[in-house]
Amino acid sequence: QQQVKQSPQSLIVQKGGISIINCAYENTAFDYFPWYQQFPGKGPALLIAIRPDVSEKKEGRFTISFNKSAKQFSLHIMDSQPGDSATYFCAASTGGGFKTIFGAGTRLFVKA
Amino acid sequence: GAVVSQHPSRVICKSGTSVKIECRSLDFQATTMFWYRQFPKQSLMLMATSNEGSKATYEQGVEKDKFLINHASLTLSTLTVTSAHPEDSSFYICSARDLGQGREAFFGQGTRLTVV
């Protein structure tokens, strides 16, 4: 499978701080980059997504930064809260089959 | 957002038996559904893609005779784990796409399968 590399594997942030998760891809055919949040025992839920023709997208406390030339994108969670503690997955998909390939995941823990 | 319902949420079965997991799109027509497998503290691994009315496309390394996928209608796909063994124990998750919603895929809540 085509890979999406995600880092860090785990992240601890103080309440109110900024959480930053990074992803990189190689397949230039990817044209849709979603981020998912998953709580234990639950399915992933879409947080925010971006297309490669946009360099940044913000929705509330969540921002995606996208660098097409570097084939990298990142998720920033501003004013991180304990309720944000979850596993976050970056992903990528292509047109046509629309298969979604997931990164390895980042376990975020926000300390109160 | 659209709702995808997966059933059952948990199932325990004896080794050698078969288990069926259902994935339903409740308020949209899902022309394409995806089945994933997730081991503890690991990522989601795509197992197969199913399109309504046609055979599923399996990812490399996934046994199609072991994991039977049926997508008989625009709102229902099923995954049957045949002759289950303890190594099949995992978290299985489906997702579905609604063409009217663009590129987003909506995920079910997952099924925890334990084979004893």
Confidence band of B83 (pLDDT split at 50, 70, 90): very high
Whether B34 and A44 lie within 8 Å, measured CB to CB: no
Mean pLDDT over A79-104 rounds to 89
For residue B61, the chain A residue with the least C-alpha distance is A1
Least reliable range by pLDDT among A88-97, B36-45, B60-69, B83-92 = A88-97
Nearest residue, CB atoms, A32 vs list B32, B34, B103 = B103
The 10 Å Cβ neighbour count of residue B35 is 27
Pick from B19-28, B44-53, B82-91, B101-110: least confident: B101-110
Task: Quote the percentage of chain B above a pLDDT of 70.
Answer: 97
Is there a contact between A98 and B97 if contact means CB atoms under 8 Å apart? yes
Asked if A34 and B104 come within 8 Å (Cβ–Cβ), the reply is yes
Q: Which residue of A has its CA nearest to B4?
A: A43
pLDDT grade for A18, boundaries at 50, 70 and 90: very high
Q: Measuring CA to CA, which residue among B100, B96, B97, B70 is closest to residue B82?
A: B70
- Tell me if A100 and B105 make a contact (CB, 8 A cut-off): yes
| CA nearest to A109, candidates A82, A74, A90, A70 | A82
Q: Residue B52's pLDDT is what?
A: 83
